[in-house]
Amino acid sequence: MTVIAGTVAALICAILSALIVVGVRGRAEDFERNEAAASALRLAYEVDRRGVRGGVIAPDDVVLQLLDDRRVVIAGTEDALDGPPIARFRPAETKIYSARVLCPPPGLDHCMWVLALRVYRHGGDWVVYAATPTIPWYVSPGLLMFLTSMSLLVTLLVCLRAWGTVDRTLARVDAIRAELAEITASRSGRRVTVPKNQDEIRWLAEAVNATLDRLDSALARQRTFTSDASHDLRSPITAARAQIEEALLFPDEVDWPQTGRAVLQSLERLQAIVIDLLQLARLDAAAWQGAEPVDLGALVTIEVARSDRTKRIVPHLQEGVVVCGDRLRLVRLLTNLLDNAERHADTRVDITVRREGDTAVLEVQDDGAGVAEEDRELVFQRFARLEAGKERDAGGTGLGLPIAREIARLHDGGLTIEDSDRGARFVLRIPAVP
């Protein structure tokens, strides 16, 4: 960035210097040529007034020469009086003067701008030549040195300023980087320092801290999930092990079929937990098999007809409510909601499918005791089980509702518990196909 700033500054200085040189050179040329023209007119006036012979006086750097009608030098400045005519051209018959650049004029050095002025005489026209040196492109060494020095100074100051500004800016970024490098999974909870200035670095620090907040939340959920999973997996394994060890201590006194059924029950609970964990892992990885149009009303009709339920299922289905998603996952979501509703319902479960604008709505409501408002988010946490649920189904895993919410999230929707007159009302909202 310093190099870029210095390059831009140098380019601007070069352009400005070129414009200054062009402007000064034009002014200098105009001045020098006006001096030469004025000197030529003065000499022509002197010729008409009193005649001129020999040496004449002219400003510095102006060479004057007076030629008669035979092109003989009869007057001029010191460096042109004894030499040949400094130019051979004459003004055209219809013109009084003409000018040319000669490199160099005869008898002189360097390129010069030469003005030829016609002077009327009775015997024939005379010619006054006035010459002045041409202005070089750089005008003068002093001006070139001044512009070069100022350009270098300005470029240097811009580079130093850019270096300091970038260094101060990157110092804050480096501090954020150093703090991030020290934050690891075992040392979470730290946050980067937020600068006081309201600028992009502050916004970066705030974004980093927000990311760290989400990371800590994810780590906390991961630790809780790991702890709960290990506990729930350990319980059926411990129960089965205890039953087998007790049976092996007294093999002749044990009812082996009953022991087998008890161990099988523990293994079934272990299998249910493992299947739910694998399902959650796939949902967390967002493993998508491909979307297809799914009619929610038809899906509910098929799933209710193919499964035997202990409670009465009452559907309220609107036709044409179609969503785009994974059919198997939507079936799993509906099954989990029905299992939960059947577990807590007294006699009946109502299923409603309807369309609200661009949203498809699926409601599953039971006529049980319902869920307290403060527990409505708790039931969606993994392995979280309310006391009422444990009493009704001791073999539950506490993963059915979290799996249902993850499926809803993967379909760009949401699953919540909303108010109802009686029981719990689970409401699924996902985008509908236009």
Which pLDDT value is given to residue 64?
Answer: 92
From the number of C-beta atoms within 10 Å of its C-beta (0-12, 13-18, 19+), residue 204 rates as: middle
Which pLDDT value is given to residue 47?
Answer: 84
Same CATH fold assignment for domains 200-284 and 292-431: no
Which pLDDT value is given to residue 188?
Answer: 63
Which pLDDT value is given to residue 282?
Answer: 67
Q: Are 64 and 57 in contact (CB under 8 A)?
A: no
How far from the centroid of its chain's Cα atoms is residue 143's Cα?
46
Instruction: Put the strands of the sheet holding 54-55 in their side by side order.
Output: 54-55, 73-76, 63-67, 126-133, 112-119, 97-102
CATH class given for the domain over 200-284: mainly alpha
The residue with tokens 């004894």 is 82
> Is the CATH number 3.30.450 carried by domain 2-133?
yes
Give, in order, the Cα–Cα distances in Å from 11 to each of 155, 161, 349: 9, 17, 80
Which pLDDT value is given to residue 148?
Answer: 94
Over the chain (434 residues), the average pLDDT of each successive run of 10 is: 93 95 93 92 85 84 89 87 88 89 88 91 87 90 93 95 88 81 66 77 84 78 69 76 85 84 81 72 62 90 86 90 88 88 89 93 90 84 66 63 87 90 91 90
Which H or E run includes 394? none
Domain limits, the chain: 2-133, 200-284, 292-431
pTM above 0.75, yes or no: no
**Closest to 349 in 3D by CA, of 391, 385, 387, 316:** 316
Distance, in Å, from the CA atom of 288 to the CA atom of 329, rounded to the nearest integer, reads: 10
Distance, in Å, from the CA atom of 399 to the CA atom of 281, rounded to the nearest integer, reads: 12
Which pLDDT value is given to residue 27?
Answer: 93
Distance, in Å, from the CA atom of 356 to the CA atom of 326, rounded to the nearest integer, reads: 21
The number of C-alpha atoms within 13 Å of 317 and in the hemisphere containing its C-beta is 16
> Is the CATH number 3.40.50.2300 carried by domain 292-431?
no
Which pLDDT value is given to residue 385?
Answer: 64
